[in-house]
Every structure is written in structure tokens, then in C-alpha cells.
Amino acid sequence: MLILSGGGDAERVKPIDSFFASKINKEKVLIYIPVAMEKSSFTYEECYDWFSKTYREYGIHKIQMWTDLKGRKLSSEHAGVFIGGGNTYKLLKILKDTNFDKALIKFLSYDGVVYGGSAGAIIFGKTIDSAKYSDKNIVNLMDTNGLNLLNNKDVWCHYKEDDDKLIESYDNGLYILYEESGIIIEKQDVKGIGKKHKVKSL
């Protein structure tokens, strides 16, 4: 199961956090991946403090933060994976350079549960090209193809009505998420959670 959110603050994404927490085995270890975050914004330790505090409210105490993905494997011993927001280009480059993109796809194929917020959601699209309007390509990433697990659509996060002209001219299909919006993907089935999302089809 793949759960994606538009990337709002803690209060806005609470229904999506709660749903994710309800779907994971609290006896297993939840993996938290904050590597998209730019260190000029928050340190990884600050990210971990925020994340662990948020999920303790749902009775989840077994949490590991992974900041070096090289050689990392996911298995049935893991409760799920949370991929946080930040710079989408940086995140995708790290995933591809470490082959962790393949580890995520394999984990999902074995009924693992993965939650991506903001940049962590955009990477699951056919491309991450929607990120160019909000992120700088600070890592000079050339290949912007995403993991493509969303029926060949991309993801637009932090949606507001001012984005409509950009979306209209965007040359691929989109799942358009408000900051309070989420989508749940199982196989080819896509359902909404929180504020209703929009879809742009070609």
C-alpha cells in the first residue's frame, strides 16, 4: 500500500498520519527517511524528534531513522516506511544512486506500507517534473523519471488555485493534492483521504 500526502503541517495531514499508523504493525520497526530535507532547514536530529513525537501519539515507538541508504534492504521485519519532504531532486538522486528506489518498489510488491509526503510523494510519479516550480535542482539531476507507480501520472503537491495555469499547461497527467489531501494506492486502485484531491488526465 502506497500513501501519499500533499505535504501540509502536522494538523493538516493528521487524518493521513492516522490512517498510515492504523495500517502498520506496531510490534515491528517503522523506518523514517528524512534525506530530502536540506540541512539548512532542519537537522536530521530535529526531524527525528518531530517524527517520533508525532507517531508516539499513535502508539508507535519502534522507529529507526535511515540517513544513509547505501546497502539498505527492506523486509517483512519492517512495519513500513515514511519518506519525508524537502528537495525532490536531492531525494530522487539519493534513491537512484543507492538503488533504494528498487528496494521501495520490491517492498511495496510484497504488501509493504509506504507513506510519502510532499517530495516523498512526488518521487512516485512518472516524473518529478512538477517539482521544478517549487524546488531547485541543487544536485544537477539529469534523469527526472520517477518510480512510476501512479498509472503513468505525476504528483502535484501543496496545491492552491494560483497553480491552475501551470497545471493547465503541464504535459502529463497529475494527481493534484492540497496540503490536506492524500491518496491511497493499492495495485491500480486510487482512493482519496482528507480533502478531496483533483486529477488531471491527458
| The pLDDT of residue 187 | 83
| The pLDDT of residue 202 | 64
Q: What is the mean pLDDT of each run of 10 residues along the chain (202 residues)?
A: 88 90 96 91 90 95 97 96 97 98 97 97 98 96 97 96 95 95 92 91 76
Determine the Cα–Cα distance for residues 66 and 171; give it in Å rounded to an integer. 34
> Which SS3 state, helix, strand or coil, does residue 181 take?
strand
**Residue 14 contacts by C-beta under 8 Å, 6 or more apart in sequence?**
none
| The pLDDT of residue 12 | 81
Q: Which residues pair with 189 in a beta bridge?
A: 186
Global pTM reads 0.95
Domains, in order of start, for the chain: 2-200 (3.40.50.880)
Please tell me the total number of residues recorded for the chain in this structure: 202
Exposure of 77 by Cβ count < 10 A (0-12 exposed, 13-18 middle, 19+ buried)? Answer: exposed
| The pLDDT of residue 168 | 94
Backbone phi and psi for residue 200, each to the nearest 5 degrees, phi listed first:
-110, 120
| The pLDDT of residue 8 | 72
| The pLDDT of residue 182 | 94
